[in-house]
């Protein structure tokens, strides 16, 4: 099983979650093993087979990117929903440190997207191949592309 991204749950419980080619997994510290959380469907929709990135926001919600969709998952209620379907292989994601912001940055094979986290609406986009994203302590977005490092 290929693990592509790992994060700690924002619920304060110190829970480790990871995404793999076939779903979302929770690390069970007591059993010292991974336990599947989401593996095939979200609200009846077939889960895209290749999950690629996981991040948590300031509310404790998990944002999960795949090769076709973006999902929101609340580990407290086990509720999940698709919030974006217009992605081309999410390679990286940044949730701004400023908790007043309700958007996320998504990098995929074709562009950099600023997405409204609540509505799934694309606020802004730029055409480029994005491999990685990083927000520094000053809130500046760094972008690793096929042409080098950008800010």
Quote the CA–CA distance of 3 and 140 in Å, as a whole number.
28
Phi-psi region of 105 (alpha: psi -120 to 50; beta: other; left: phi over 0): beta
Are 94 and 133 in contact by the 8 Å Cβ rule? The answer is: yes
Quote the CA–CA distance of 72 and 42 in Å, as a whole number.
10
- Give the residue with greater pLDDT, 27 vs 87: 27
pLDDT level of residue 48 (50, 70, 90 thresholds): low
pTM of the model: 0.76
| DSSP bridge partners of 115 | 104, 122
pLDDT, tens digit, for every residue of 106-123? 888 888 989 888 787 889
pLDDT at residue 20, as a whole number: 67
- Give the residue with greater pLDDT, 24 vs 86: 24
Residue 89 clears pLDDT 80, i.e. is over it: no
């Amino acid at each position: 099983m290929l693990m592509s991204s790992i994060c700690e749950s924002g619920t304060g419980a110190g829970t480790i979650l990871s995404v793999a080619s076939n779903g979302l997994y929770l690390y069970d510290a007591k059993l010292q093993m991974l336990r599947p959380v989401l593996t095939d469907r979200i609200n009846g929709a077939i889960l895209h087979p290749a999950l690629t990135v996981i991040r948590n926001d300031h509310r404790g919600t998990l944002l999960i990117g795949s090769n076709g969709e973006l999902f929101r998952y609340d580990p407290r209620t086990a509720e999940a929903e698709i919030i974006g379907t217009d992605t081309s292989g999410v390679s990286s994601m940044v949730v701004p440190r400023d908790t007043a912001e309700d958007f996320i940055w998504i990098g995929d094979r074709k562009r950099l997207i600023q997405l409204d986290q609540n509505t799934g609406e694309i606020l802004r986009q730029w055409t480029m191949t994005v491999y990685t994203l990083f927000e520094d302590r000053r809130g500046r977005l760094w972008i690793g592309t096929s042409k080098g490092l950008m800010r």
